[in-house]
Amino acid sequence: MLGYVTRRVLMLVPVFFAVSVVIFSMIHMLPGDPIENLLRVGSSPAQREALTAKYGLDRPLVEQYLLWMSNVLTGDLGTAIVQRRPVAQLVAQALPYSLSLGGLALCFSTVLGVVVGTIAASWRGSWLDQGLMGGVLFGSMLPNFWIGLLMILVFSVSLGWTPVSGARGWESLVLPVLTIGLGGTALVARVTRIAMIDTQGKDFVLLLHAKGVHPLTIQVRHVLRHALIPVVTILALRIGWILGGAVTVEVVFARPGLGSLLIKSLNQHDYPVVQASLLILAMAVMLGTLMGDLLQAAMDPRFRDSLT
Amino acid sequence: MSAAVQKTGMLGTIRRSVAWRALATIKGGVAGGFLLLVVLGAIFAPVLTPYDYDIQALTNAFQPPSLAHPMGTDEFGRDVLTRILYGARTSLSVSVVAISISLVFGMTLGAAAGYFGGRFDRMVMVVVDLTWSFPEILVALMLVAIIGPGVTGTLVAICVAYLAQFTRLTRSQVMALKSETYVEAARGLGASHAFILFRHLLPNCLGPVLVAGMLATGDAIILEATLGFFGLGAQPPTPSWGGMMSSGSGLLFKGPWIILFPGLCIALTVVAINLFGDVLLAKLDIRDRLRVV
Amino acid sequence: MLLDVRDLSLRIGTVGLLDGLSFSVDRGEVLGLVGESGSGKSLTALALTGLAARMGATITAGSVVFDGTDLVGLKESAYRRLRGKRIGFITQNPMSALDALVTIGDQVDQVSRLHLGLSKRAARAHTVEILSRLRIPEAEVVARAYPHNLSGGMKQRVVIAMALAADPDLIIADEPTTALDVTVQAQIVMMLADLVRKRDLGLILITHDMSVVAQICDKVCVLYAGRVAESGPVRQIFAAPRHPYTEALIGCIPRDGMAPGSLRGIPGTVAAVSQYGADCCRFAPRCCRADALCSTQQPLPVATGTGGMLACHHPVDTPVTEAADADDR
């Protein structure tokens, strides 16, 4: 088991470098010169060159990449060209907002999705099943930002229950979490329901009934336990969805998170910030997948034993 | 019923209610009808509305829905319904075209990877898995940033964002079919790779992949709208569903209908596409083959 | 009588799958329920344990009297208290009968904790005791293992242990050996026979294997397409089968000193449930003794002198009018 964890963590290293190369090259294909934003009207070509040299933009791409990487590995993410602050500082400021939002949205959609999926699977084919699944699916088909806007309209503008935007206090988290969570809920509910229906038909469930175990115990302690394995797998694979949702929703609710930072920096062509925030998002995706794999190993003794 | 009983024995008897199938056709009919309505509305927009989509009349701004303007007017005094009808042209065509292109590329790539396997397959899958684990919206945002905002950027962005999904799906289909007896027989008879691929494998995985494409079109409409909402989609004055909402939450106080109706339109269209795709899946009996993971 | 089933009929949807089954089993007795796949054996087992409703089946007629109470129409909660506690169940395939995510010990403990109200520790001691009595080596270690760590024979012993954990009066074993290696099959069968004697419990052994029946059963009930063809004491049925189907089944058992190629099968297959006729003998299409009567009138079960039943228009020991039966035994 320990060997598996080490191997799995070590596997992240090449992936990390591959991702960093992709991000780096994409960034350098971006049009628009960030130096342009810095120059005052009428500044001389010499000033321009000095600035370009200062940010290392005149050196060959490979060298720039190596420099960036070696700095990243020592914890230095560079300096924002337009926002003129250390990138690490900008990111560190934004990250808590995104983490709290993403983490809560993940919890929310997992819990709600599993509950809905379990209920739907237990009363399969009934109006409850069709109504719940229909409702959840409908919710997941709506554009994230539009749900966000609607929620603001209903809860903030009309009812005045929650703040319209910003990031003060837990109240400001409610609407964004709900907005992102809806999409994930549908995914989790669907996987839970299918996996549970699948498991319900297994022989061991029949035997559990024959042992006289209460149906509720069977559903929760046995069937759901099996169903959670694919749920974890899917969630780990699609953790990016939650992050992607966070990007849009942060903008809608004007939360100063990583998503807002990314969009702002993209518009300003602030390379180092875009690079760093993408790298962080990619790392979050990779860590999510890792967590999923490890969780799966913890949940499934067959999988655990196949690793040795 | 009797067929099911014969196939799976007494205990495996699965009761399939006929009512559900009937409902499915009703579901399919309603969804299909709505989609047809949207497409017709987009095509005949100039005939259907007396207003222009791009002429501003500031004195007429923020009119709530009325008989003259069933969905009200926006912050520049333009009729919202008119802009939705014209916007459908942009949003639908961009999504459909982008997904079609993506399908062609994805199928080719996936079929080749699945059929030939080996190092080529591994290389393709590494890239595909990498993009797949990244949220579509992030991939699209990056691409739009590179290419620049507008219809072309959106088109390419959607195209690339969904490429991974179609590649994965086609690959898994081809891999499953590859070992079927008839394919091996064809190879034994000396059929060329191209012949086997185009004659046997691709036609057989067309159903699931096309339905997946249809369902993805729904997602693409949302993606297009999201880009539009960020102001990165079709540029003004060209109306698009997402672009109509790009003024964002600021409008919620003065004219919520400006946000409400385009969003509702997107939502209904996407739901209709999904419902219709669902009916197709049931009719073609390929639901199980659509599992990408 | 521990369990007395009378005229049990059951249907799924509009299809009648079991039609007027009657049999009984007493303490210390083994009843063999025999038939080909599709004859309704497993469904009978589910009907007796009250689980048939889970398959969408409804009992339409008859009674299942267990220790004096009729179980048909019993409330689900009451039935649940019987299952596992007084009626143990052993399923067909031990490979899939255990929850792969739960340890063996916890799965067996579950029964005694639920029905005997034992504490966690007492339940485990109980489990280890049962496992060792079923000749599972190092029972404490096995209790901590997961199902995938065990062989098929071991898993089946665990399933048997679960059936025994609450000390039941009746055990229903649905093809307990089909999925196992031949060498293990004999062990398990003998183990079951041994349990019946030692614990004085009733056992319904569902099988398609006549040789197993010959080995351990006291009584046998032969099913064909959801109906009883013939039933009676094992000794008598084997010595003088009267239903052509029973005779054919016994003819399928390989014996010492058989000439090569003389092992017989039964031509054709059991009809699909949808093709079940009402007013006919369902075995008629495959029967060498069938005549016009067999395809127009259902042979009703008649009590035989030995406490069994027979449902045949032309039993083996009566001469057939036309169709000269060459095979006289």
User: What pLDDT sits at residue A40?
Assistant: 62
Q: Report the alpha-carbon distance of residue B132 to residue B169 in Å, rounded.
A: 12
Q: Is the pLDDT of residue C285 over 70?
A: yes
Q: Is A26 on the interface with B (CB under 8 A)?
A: yes
Q: Report the alpha-carbon distance of residue A190 to residue A116 in Å, rounded.
A: 9
Residues of B in contact with C37 (CB under 8 A): 9
Closest alpha carbon to A248 in A99, A143, A110? A143
Name the pTM for this structure: 0.78
**B142 near B131, Cβ under 8 Å?**
no
Determine which of A208-212, B10-14, B113-117 has the lowest per-residue pLDDT on average. Answer: B10-14
pLDDT confidence tier of residue B13, bands split at 50, 70 and 90: very low
User: What pLDDT sits at residue A266?
Assistant: 79
Q: Report the alpha-carbon distance of residue A72 to residue A94 in Å, rounded.
A: 18
Q: Phi and psi dihedrals of C13, rounded to 5?
A: 65, -125
**C55 near C12, Cβ under 8 Å?**
yes
Which residue from A minimizes the CA distance to C103?
A: A301
A76 vs B6 pLDDT, higher one: A76
C267 vs C314 pLDDT, higher one: C314
> What percentage of chain B carries pLDDT values higher than 90?
9
Question: Given an 8 Å threshold on Cβ–Cβ distance, is C274 in contact with B5?
Answer: yes
Which residue from B minimizes the CA distance to C51?
A: B11
**C-alpha pair distances (Å), C4 with each of C27, C71, C229:** 12, 10, 18
User: What pLDDT sits at residue C83?
Assistant: 92
**B132 near B167, Cβ under 8 Å?**
no
Q: Report the alpha-carbon distance of residue C156 to residue C185 in Å, rounded.
A: 10
Q: Is the pLDDT of residue C329 over 60?
A: no
pLDDT confidence tier of residue C124, bands split at 50, 70 and 90: very high
Q: Which chains touch A (3 or more CB pairs under 8 A)?
A: B, C
Q: What is the largest CA-CA distance in chain C?
A: 71
Write down the mean pLDDT value for chain C.
Answer: 86
Question: Given an 8 Å threshold on Cβ–Cβ distance, is B226 in contact with A157?
Answer: no
Q: Is the pLDDT of residue C126 over 60?
A: yes
- Tell me the per-residue pLDDT of B20-32, one tens digit each, with 9 for 90 and over: 454 567 777 888 8
- Tell me the per-residue pLDDT of A277-298, one tens digit each, with 9 for 90 and over: 888 888 888 888 888 888 888 8
- Tell me the per-residue pLDDT of B197-229, one tens digit each, with 9 for 90 and over: 887 788 878 878 888 888 889 989 999 998 888
Closest alpha carbon to A252 in A178, A308, A160, A158? A178
Q: Using DSSP bridges, classify how beta strands C227-233 and C202-207 pair: parallel, antiparallel or unpaired.
A: unpaired
Q: From the list C98, C114, C148, which residue is nearest A213 (CB)?
A: C114
Q: What is the mean pLDDT of residues C256-278?
A: 75
Q: Phi and psi dihedrals of B233, rounded to 5?
A: -85, -150
3-class DSSP state of C329 = coil
CA dihedral for B160, B165, B169, B174, sign (positive or negative): positive
User: What pLDDT sits at residue A166?
Assistant: 63
Question: Given an 8 Å threshold on Cβ–Cβ distance, is A211 in contact with C162?
Answer: yes
C66 vs A76 pLDDT, higher one: C66
Which residue from C minimizes the CA distance to B13?
A: C55
Question: Given an 8 Å threshold on Cβ–Cβ distance, is A203 in contact with C148?
Answer: no
Beta pairing partners, A240: none
Counting Cα atoms < 13 Å in the Cβ hemisphere of A152 gives: 24
Q: What is the mean pLDDT of residues C1-17?
A: 88
pLDDT confidence tier of residue B291, bands split at 50, 70 and 90: low
User: What pLDDT sits at residue C322?
Assistant: 44
Question: Given an 8 Å threshold on Cβ–Cβ distance, is C114 in contact with A226?
Answer: no
Count CB neighbours of A225 within 10 A.
17
Q: Is the pLDDT of residue C298 over 90?
A: no
User: What pLDDT sits at residue B20?
Assistant: 47
pLDDT confidence tier of residue B19, bands split at 50, 70 and 90: very low
Q: What is the mean pLDDT of residues A119-137?
A: 88
Count CB neighbours of C50 within 10 A.
23
Per-residue DSSP letter, B60: G
The radius of gyration of chain C from alpha carbons, rounded to an integer in Å, stands at 21
Q: What is the mean pLDDT of residues C204-208?
A: 91
Closest approach of A289 to chain C, Cα-based (Å): 22
Residues of B in contact with C12 (CB under 8 A): 5, 10, 13, 15
User: What pLDDT sits at residue C215?
Assistant: 86
User: What pLDDT sits at residue C327?
Assistant: 44
User: What pLDDT sits at residue C318?
Assistant: 61
Segment 177-236 of chain B within 8 Å of chain A by CB: 218, 222, 225-226, 229-230
In the block, residue with structure tokens 């024995």: B9
Per-residue DSSP letter, C103: -
Residues of B in contact with C17 (CB under 8 A): 10
Q: What is the mean pLDDT of residues A163-176?
A: 73
pLDDT confidence tier of residue B9, bands split at 50, 70 and 90: very low
- Tell me the per-residue pLDDT of B247-278, one tens digit each, with 9 for 90 and over: 666 677 777 888 888 888 998 999 888 888 87
User: What pLDDT sits at residue C94?
Assistant: 83
Q: Is the pLDDT of residue C323 over 60?
A: no
Best mutation site among C44, C48, C49, C101 for testing chain A: the one with the most A CBs within 10 Å? C101
First CA to last CA distance, chain B: 31
User: What pLDDT sits at residue A36?
Assistant: 67
* Amino acid at residue number C276: Y
**C98 near C147, Cβ under 8 Å?**
yes
Q: From the list B133, B248, B267, which residue is nearest A240 (CB)?
A: B133
User: What pLDDT sits at residue A31?
Assistant: 65
In the block, residue with structure tokens 């518009």: A267
Q: Is the pLDDT of residue B151 over 80?
A: yes
Q: Is the pLDDT of residue A193 over 70?
A: yes
**C176 near C160, Cβ under 8 Å?**
yes
Say how many residues make up chain C. Answer: 329
Closest approach of A234 to chain C, Cα-based (Å): 19
Best mutation site among A124, A196, A197, A211 for testing chain C: the one with the most C CBs within 10 Å? A211
Closest approach of A137 to chain C, Cα-based (Å): 28
- Tell me the per-residue pLDDT of C139-153, one tens digit each, with 9 for 90 and over: 999 999 999 999 888
Question: Given an 8 Å threshold on Cβ–Cβ distance, is B148 in contact with A31?
Answer: yes
Q: Is the pLDDT of residue B63 over 90?
A: no
- Residue C202: CB partners within 8 Å, gap ≥ 6? C2, C3, C25, C26, C27, C28, C29, C30, C31, C169, C170, C171, C196
Q: Using DSSP bridges, classify how beta strands C219-224 and C227-233 pair: parallel, antiparallel or unpaired.
A: antiparallel
- Tokens for A129, please give them: 């099943």
Question: Given an 8 Å threshold on Cβ–Cβ distance, is B136 in contact with A244?
Answer: yes
Determine which of A106-110, A209-213, B45-49 has the lowest per-residue pLDDT on average. Answer: B45-49
> What percentage of chain A carries pLDDT values higher than 70?
92
Residues of C in contact with B2 (CB under 8 A): 15, 272-274
pLDDT confidence tier of residue B18, bands split at 50, 70 and 90: very low
Which residue from B minimizes the CA distance to C44?
A: B11
Q: Is A278 on the interface with B (CB under 8 A)?
A: yes
Best mutation site among B226, B244, B260, B275 for testing chain A: the one with the most A CBs within 10 Å? B226
User: What pLDDT sits at residue A167?
Assistant: 59
User: What pLDDT sits at residue C180?
Assistant: 79
- Tell me the per-residue pLDDT of B162-187, one tens digit each, with 9 for 90 and over: 898 899 888 888 887 877 777 778 87
